[in-house]
Chain A
Amino acid sequence: MSNEVIIRIEGLEKKYILGEENIVRALAGVDLVVTAGSYVAIMGPSGSGKSTMLNLLGCLDRPTAGRYFLGGEDVSTMPDDDLSKARGKRIGFIFQSYNLIPQLTVIENIQVPLFYQGESLAESYDRCVELANMVGLGDRLEHRPTQLSGGQQQRVAIARSLANDPLMILADEPTGNLDSKTGTEVLEMIDRLNEGGKTIVLVTHDEKVAKRAHRVLHMKDGLIDREVIQKTVPGGAGRQSNSGLREINQATKPSDGALAGSANQSAH
């Protein structure tokens, strides 16, 4: 179970044709395997293919070449509707600018992913209240995003990303708009999710943020230039770590064995 492969990427390429002569190779054949329960950070300067990687991992886009298996299923050639379904079922998004829907309340925002899975608002209500409690916003269910601080909004976004019990959480600069204190709070929350067994893929500029991950992928010119398997995983006491080795990650796994349990259960 711990070795269950969540993401398998083989020779992933993405080209953008901007003009007749102007073809941008945003990704130039990336290989990657991410197993269940791992915490991966992707870093890199702008133009390195980081965003393209994120879009492809998030099933928001399709690669020009190569294959992408998410939870064992090839999503690289899926039609649009199936791709939407894959996003809705298997991925939880956390964005830099929170991206809550302004006209919806906190609880309604958390319910959105389940709404598109065909669950009625009444059906999903209890579970989503639980998630709101988990991120400490149980008393703000009927507030609108504009009535919340940035940190609170990002916590709502985290609750929302968990609503569909996804295979992995894809976080795009989750602390980019937050001050360091609230940023740390959000990161700690993400750590706890990972401890609960959630697979996390996080895109960031910030070394400090990346430090928390098991693996850091440094991207350059559309390729994974270098991969660092971190020595210490903050908050991951008792976790095994393979110091300094460059290898396809099979090693990082929580030793406590509480792996695939859903985050909202184990967080309490």
Chain B
Amino acid sequence: MLTHNFISTVQLGIKNLLLHKLRSGLTILGIIFGVCSVISMLAIGEGASFEAQEAIKKLGSNNIILRSLKPPENQSESANANRSFEMSYGLSYDDGARLQATIPGIRRVLPMRIIRDNVRFGENVAACQVIGTLSFYPEIVTMDIVAGRFLTEIDEKHRNNVCVITLSLARKLFPYQNPLQHSIKIAAVYYQVVGIGRETNMPEQRTQAGEIEGETLDQFVYLPLSTARIRFGETIIRGQFPSLQFETVQLHQITVQMNDTDAVESADPQIKSLLDKFHSQNDFEMIVPLQLLRQAEQTKRIFNIVLGSIAAISLLVGGIGIMNIMLATVTERTREIGVRRALGAKKRDITMQFLVETIVLSVGGGVIGVIVGILVPFVVSHLAHMKTIVTFSSVFLAFGISGAIGIIFGIYPASTAAELDPIEALRHE
């Protein structure tokens, strides 16, 4: 019986709201916008931070990345631009060895030399990055070996002229041939292709040396580190006579893999202070993906709070709109309230009637808002190519808030209606 009456009350509420379609529609719009903005803003925020976090995760949360950095040029050097000069900076083989020997919790130290150059096979030429590295490179940088093998310790030991190339480079250089049966030429030296690999995560922008400008994307040639050292030397000569620049860099990058994330945190300051002792100038940078990840998470949290509050304010405004219209409705229907009271309606019946109307408005707005709020991020990600993630919790939150707003902002007008004196209400014109 109670439920029957409740359903009837809801039906009555909907009926009353439909009597003033424009008014109800405009009122509901406030809630729709509020709910929609909560969901879509959180979805866009979530998507943006997800992308940032993915990029950081690719660096490996157990890794600490050290990169050589060209120190800022001195005034005197740039003044003598037309004179040749030589500079030496960056990480050294010694640094790698010292880290391995001193810092606890290190699993492996991966040194890399990165040189830009052109690679040739017959008529085909491609710009690429030549990476001199060790045999366990694929385990630290996630990489699939598509064909053949990666470099081995024997290659390293014997400074073999072998290389592994990435799939995209292989496609470019060997349109018809099997790369594994051929050699490629870099500068004047031929290297036997022993494997084809593909880095599953696009690596971060690396410090590099070389003469070739422009994007090489994922076109890499991997050489044994020892081979790269003897074939390319450590000094790169840039520019044209007479203003030659000699840059000596031993290692462009050292990736330190730690045992676990705890070790990352404790090693972070130790590595810094150790390297500072041997580098008088500021010629390296240290990237701790774990820290970046934490920062990104923190940023995301703040971002979400800011976006969420803006959206919540719009919901609040919507709620005030509802309350305003309900107060007007109560005044308008004072006579009706009096009649209903005379015909046996208790105060709580009247409260219920108006509260139900408010809740119908806000929940109705909430439902439409949820639908629109899911559609908007979908459209945004299609049009603006931004990643958006609609989380269940944001939908739940927005819907919950809109329902709560219906109750909170409905109670006052409803109780105003219920507290009307029936005699006064009946007399109301």
Contact = CB atoms under 8 A, between A and B. Distances in A.
Contact of B342 (A58, A100, A115, A118): A58
Interface string B313-354: 000000000000000000000011011111111111100000
A89 B343 CA distance: 9
B344 A103 contact: no
Nearest to B11: A121
A103 B1 contact: no
B277 to A, nearest CB: 85
A165 to B, nearest CB: 13
A120 B341 CA distance: 18
A85 B342 CA distance: 10
Nearest to B20: A103
Interface in A75-91: 80-81, 84-85, 87-89
A116 B423 contact: no
Contacts of B349: 84, 116
B342 A60 contact: yes
B15 interface: yes
Q: Which of A60, A95, A122 gathers most chain B CB within 10 Å? A: A60
A84 B347 contact: yes
Contact of A95 (B4, B8, B344, B426): B426
Contacts of B230: none
Interface string A46-76: 0000000001001011000000000000000
B12 to A, nearest CB: 8
B5 to A, nearest CB: 6
A120 B4 contact: yes
A116 B339 CA distance: 12
A160 interface: yes
Contacts of A39: none
Interface residues of chain B: helix, strand, loop or mixed (majority): helix
Contact of A85 (B5, B19, B346): B346
Contact of B1 (A95, A100, A118): A118
B79 interface: no
Contact of A87 (B16, B19, B336, B343): B343
Contact of A80 (B19, B344, B346): B346
Interface string A163-197: 01000000000000000000000000000000000
A99 B423 contact: no
A206 B343 CA distance: 26
Contacts of B1: 118-120
B314 to A, nearest CB: 31
Contact of B422 (A60, A100, A103, A113): A60
B2 interface: yes
Nearest to A103: B19
A135 to B, nearest CB: 17
Contact of A81 (B338, B339, B347, B423): B347
Contacts of B348: 81
Interface string A5-18: 00000000000000
B344 A117 contact: yes
Given A101-B336, A101-B340, A116 B422 contact: no
Q: Which of B16, B342, B345 gathers most chain A CB within 10 Å? A: B342
A68 to B, nearest CB: 16
A87 B346 CA distance: 10
Q: What is the interface residue range for chain A against chain B?
A: 20 to 34
Contacts of B19: 103
B339 A84 contact: no
B346 A81 contact: yes
A112 B339 CA distance: 10
Given A58-B342, A88-B343, A160-B343, A118 B422 contact: no
A113 B344 contact: yes
Contacts of A84: 341, 344-347, 349
Q: Which of B341, B343, B422 gathers most chain A CB within 10 Å? A: B343
B346 A115 contact: no
A113 B343 contact: yes
Contacts of A164: 344
A112 B340 contact: yes
Given A103-B16, A118-B5, A60 B423 contact: yes
Contacts of B344: 84-85, 87-89, 113, 116-117, 164
B339 A99 contact: yes
Nearest to B425: A60
Interface in A104-141: 112-113, 115-123
A89 B346 CA distance: 12
Contacts of B341: 60, 84, 87
A116 B340 contact: yes
A116 B337 CA distance: 13
Contact of B423 (A55, A80, A113, A120): A55
A116 B15 contact: no
Contacts of B4: 120-123
Nearest to A84: B346
A156 to B, nearest CB: 12
A78 to B, nearest CB: 12
Nearest to B349: A116
16 contacts: A60-B423, A81-B347, A81-B348, A84-B341, A84-B349, A88-B344, A88-B345, A99-B342, A99-B426, A103-B15, A112-B343, A113-B344, A116-B346, A116-B349, A117-B344, A160-B343
Given A93-B342, A113-B344, A115-B5, 7 more contacts: A60-B341, A60-B422, A80-B347, A84-B344, A101-B339, A112-B339, A113-B343
Interface of A: 55, 58, 60-61, 80-81, 84-85, 87-89, 93, 95, 99-103, 112-113, 115-123, 160, 164
Interface of B: 1-2, 4-5, 8, 15-16, 19, 335-336, 338-349, 422-423, 426
Closest 6 CB pairs of A and B: A88-B344, A120-B4, A116-B344, A84-B346, A113-B343, A99-B339
